[in-house]
């Protein structure tokens, strides 16, 4: 995730059955945060960035 000051933090999580995931960043301040999928691991599966319905999400915290 890109933080408002331009630095980065990483995370990982399991998706739900619908393929979505939720991350919670507890130490944030106001600003814009951008989370981007860069990899995926699943047995017997090859990750293809182009198959994603959405690879990045931006949230602005007032």
Query: Which tens digit of pLDDT belongs to each residue from 9-41?
Result: 988 888 888 878 888 888 878 999 999 888 778
Contacts of 6 (CB under 8 A, 6+ apart): none
Burial 17-33 (b: 16+ CB within 10 A, else e): eeeeeeeeeeeeeeeeb
* Type and span of the H or E element at 36: strand 31-36
pLDDT score of 62:
92
């Amino acid at each position: 995730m890109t933080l408002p000051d331009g630095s980065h933090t990483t995370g990982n999580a399991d998706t739900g059955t619908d393929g979505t995931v939720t991350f919670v960043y507890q130490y944030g301040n106001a600003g814009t945060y951008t989370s981007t999928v860069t990899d995926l691991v699943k047995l017997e599966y090859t990750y293809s960035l182009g198959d994603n319905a959405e690879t990045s999400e931006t949230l602005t915290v007032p």
